[in-house]
């Protein structure tokens, strides 16, 4: 979905009008996985300086509602968006810098959709967030330890 034609096709398949702001927003989300709203606005405005904040917010809300993109909001972080939809992947978040990355289900197609007790719900999605420290922050921490404890 990185080409303009591919993005237009996604919009048409979702029964949306193809407009320049929508194409720009969806292009920005595809080009910047896990970006927050401000990053998306900046990316959109690089090529389309007249697109308003509200047009970007409205597009993100509509795309999320229609399942064209996915909103991720780990606890304590701002909302982020990704174009990877239609699978049951998860995320890992660095506790220090907030870096976020995709994590595929560990085993099988979507094993986490089989809850030990579904309480009568028909489960169609699971959201798992792994928390830890990214390699860059681990290296920075190790460097600090070397400097502090020579």
Q: What is the pLDDT along the chain (150 residues), one digit of tens a residue?
A: 668 888 889 889 888 899 999 999 999 999 999 999 999 999 999 999 999 999 999 999 999 999 999 999 999 999 999 999 988 788 999 999 999 999 887 665 555 667 778 899 887 777 888 899 999 999 999 888 766 555
* Strand 129-132, strand 90-94: pairing: parallel
Last residue of a domain, one of 72, 105, 125: 72
Find, among 6, 29, 25, 8, the residue nearest to 17 by Cα.
8
Q: Is 11 in the same domain as 62?
A: yes
User: Domain tally for the chain?
Assistant: 2
Asked if 23 and 35 touch (Cβ cutoff 8 Å), the reply is no
User: Hey, is 13 helix, strand or coil?
Assistant: helix
Q: Residue 93: give its domain's CATH number.
A: 3.30.1490.190
Residue 123 belongs to a domain:
yes
In a domain, residue 79? The reply is no
pTM: 0.81
């Amino acid at each position: 979905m990185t080409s303009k034609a591919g993005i237009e096709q996604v919009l048409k398949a979702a029964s949306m009008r193809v407009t320049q702001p929508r194409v720009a927003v969806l292009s920005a989300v595809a080009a910047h996985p896990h970006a927050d709203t401000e990053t998306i606005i900046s990316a959109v405005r690089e090529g389309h300086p007249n697109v308003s904040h509200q047009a970007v917010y409205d597009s993100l809300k509509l795309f999320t509602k229609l399942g064209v993109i996915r909103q991720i909001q780990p606890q304590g972080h701002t909302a982020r968006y990704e174009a990877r939809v239609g699978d049951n992947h998860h995320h890992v978040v660095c506790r220090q810098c907030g870096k976020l990355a995709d994590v595929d289900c560990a085993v099988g197609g979507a094993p986490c959709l089989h809850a030990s007790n579904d309480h009568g719900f028909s489960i169609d999605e699971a959201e798992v967030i792994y928390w830890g420290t990214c390699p860059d922050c681990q290296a920075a921490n190790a460097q600090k330890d070397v400097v502090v404890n020579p």
